[in-house]
Structure 1
Amino acid sequence: MAEKRNVSYVPLKQPIVFTVEGFIITRQQGYPLFVASLIVYAVMLLGNITVVTVIATDVKLHKPMYMMMCNLAACDLLGGTTVMAQLMSQFLTGNKTIGYVAAIVQVFCVHTYGSVVATILSAMAYDRYIAICQPLHYHAIMTTTRLVSLCFVAWLIPICLVMILLILTVGTPLCGTLIMHVYCSNSAILKLACIPTPINDIYGMCTIYSVTLGCFLVIAFSYVKILKACIIKQEKNSRSKAIQTCASHLTIYFLFEISGFTIFMTYSLQDISPNTRKFCSILLFIVPPTVNPIIYGIAMKDIRTRIVNLFKSNISSK
């Protein structure tokens, strides 16, 4: 909830330049942190760009499951870049200022990332449900049109919800410029409001719970059906293949949810240092985008084979 402020305060006039508090460190400590962040970001970029490139360039991988993975990798690039780019700049230069428009863009990207990952994972769970529980009708159900529609809706719904959130936020008068966070979020900006913002708060909470609960129900329904199908299947090979196919998806989902839950836990505990709390708040934008491509490479034989062949061909050509 955004804190209530005295309505007698004079709202700030445009152009507004925010100062992001960020991590409380010295300039000397910023350089090694920049190097560490750069390494993590490079691994994130390499992994996700490789996944997108392999799937996009190989016609044999133009299947629903892999195309959804491609969308997830693109979303991971959006979320990771949005936070890591500004974080590395803070570590290297010590400059923690950000313009109003840039702050709003970052808010849009941050919240879109969190929502789109959830909706794409729901679409992936539905795809696995159809593939395992209705294998004979899979190609008739998961047509190219259905696949495009699922991916389009997975992006459209979160973008529309976040746009409404930003419309409410942009019209709010602000009386401060210090954002007590590592990056710009909607709640962090609303804490600077001159007036109470009940509509923004209620809409924001309803959006978070609706997306989280809705996606959880879709995933839970899909995997309950999948579990029943695996128990009924008599063929050991079919059962093990179905479990192996779903393991990577569930791992990615739980990794994402645990990273998100960590944010709420750290902000509800009072005995945590500010730097620790802020570090936990960026795990959602570091851990899933960095680890997801590794999970794809280990669990998905087709992707692993294509990546190995890609590197072999590049080495042989040189």
Structure 2
Amino acid sequence: MSLQNTSIKVTEFIIGGFDAVKVPMAVGVIILIVYVIGFLANVVNILFIVYDKKLHKPMYILICNLAIVDILYTSSASPTMVRTLIAGVNTISYVPCLIQMFAFNLGAFMEMFSLAVMAFDRLLAVSCPFHYLSYLTNARTLVLTFILWIAACGFVAFCPATVIHLTHCYSVLMYAFCDYPAIIRTTCSDPEYYFNTIATAVFVFILFTFSFICLSYFAIIFFVKVSSSSDKKKMGSTCLSHLIVVTCYYCPVFVRSILTRLGVVLSLQERNGLIIGSFLGPPLVNPFVYCLRTKEIKYKIFKLFTKT
């Protein structure tokens, strides 16, 4: 992209990522339906856990935290896309755009952190079942979660900090919402430095969290091998929900963030599709996975709908 010599004062951005969509209304309705279902499902999960004292345990606190992360993640961009596609309002003010970028990246980082901590939780539950509640108490779980939120906010603050002092030569965002690369492309600066910096940071966090999850499951497999058949079945059931959630999140992230850096070329529509799938898919899948595979939550839902 050639750089302009004349900068402009940007008070609002134009979202141009959906210009090539032939049926914007249909796409917008689909995104709206998925967003509403995922949002309500996560809210229900949170309410079940908060109001049932029997579920005030480390694992459910982490599930509740993941639901909060999912709500933030999907709510950061979905309303803007729905407004653009259905109402045809394709502008967003400068400050709300930066806030949206911060919220979206915070949700992405917290999703990785949350899944890594939940893998550690499963490892403790499998390797130290009799001392699990003494090692990972509710208080320690809450403190750990709070520390992760603070750390994620600190890391994500890099994005608006690098953008806010740059001058802009364009006002059109080529992506579907206020993503960091989209805003950087509107500046008068050479985007490669910023792209490489953020790509390196994202790669490190993806590699660290995913490696931690893999190592946790290697350790879990070791403990499963030396366990009885009944324990193996229980361990497998305990970990399957988390594995489904991890797969749902990391697959589009790997394609978008890693394979593209290795030379895989994606069109604008393909990239937008992967991004939208990465923050609409997990918040929709996660609450249903935990509702259907967690005995206590499934029992409460069954009891709620069969209560006369």
What TM-score do the two structures reach when normalised by structure 2?
Answer: 0.92
Q: Which amino acid aligns with 2:249?
A: F
Structure 2: segments with no counterpart, 5+ residues: none
Q: Which amino acid aligns with 1:44?
A: G
Match of residue 19, structure 1, among 9, 14, 18 = 14
Q: Distance in 2 between matches of 1:165 and 1:82?
A: 15
Matches of residues 165-204 of structure 1 in structure 2 within 5 Å? 165-196=159-190, 200-204=194-198
Q: Which amino acid aligns with 2:278?
A: L
Describe the shift of the 1:26–1:208 C-alpha distance in structure 2 as closer, same or farther (beyond 3 A).
closer
Describe the shift of the 1:276–1:198 C-alpha distance in structure 2 as closer, same or farther (beyond 3 A).
closer
Percent identity between matched residues is 27
Describe the shift of the 1:10–1:37 C-alpha distance in structure 2 as closer, same or farther (beyond 3 A).
same
Please say if 1:287 is aligned against 2:281: yes
Residue 298 of structure 1: aligned partner = 292
Q: Which amino acid aligns with 1:215?
A: T
Aligned length: 306
Q: Which amino acid aligns with 1:222?
A: S
State the 4+ residue runs in structure 1 displaced beyond 6 angstroms.
none
Please say if 1:218 is aligned against 2:216: no
Structure 1: segments with no counterpart, 5+ residues: none
Q: Distance in 2 between matches of 1:174 and 1:124?
A: 41
Shift of 1:191: 1.1
Q: Distance in 2 between matches of 1:251 and 1:86?
A: 28
Shift of 1:73: 0.8
SS of corresponding position for 1:91: helix
Residues 130 and 138 of structure 1 are in contact (CA less than 8 Å); yes or no, is this contact kept in structure 2? yes
Q: Which amino acid aligns with 1:89?
A: R
Match of residue 140, structure 2, among 143, 146, 149 = 146
**Which range moved further: 304-313 or 38-47?**
304-313
Please say if 1:261 is aligned against 2:254: yes
Please say if 1:248 is aligned against 2:246: no
Q: Distance in 2 between matches of 1:228 and 1:41?
A: 39
SS of corresponding position for 1:124: helix
Please say if 1:207 is aligned against 2:176: no
Q: Distance in 1 between matches of 2:65 and 2:207?
A: 21
Describe the shift of the 1:26–1:200 C-alpha distance in structure 2 as closer, same or farther (beyond 3 A).
closer
Q: Distance in 2 between matches of 1:199 and 1:30?
A: 34
Shift of 1:154: 2.3
Could you list the per-position Cα deviations for residues 109-145 of structure 1 after superposition, in whole angstroms to 9, with x for gaps in the alignment? 1111111000001110111111111122212210223
Q: Distance in 1 between matches of 2:218 and 2:24?
A: 47
Q: Which amino acid aligns with 1:38?
A: L
Residues 56 and 138 of structure 2 are in contact (CA less than 8 Å); yes or no, is this contact kept in structure 1? no
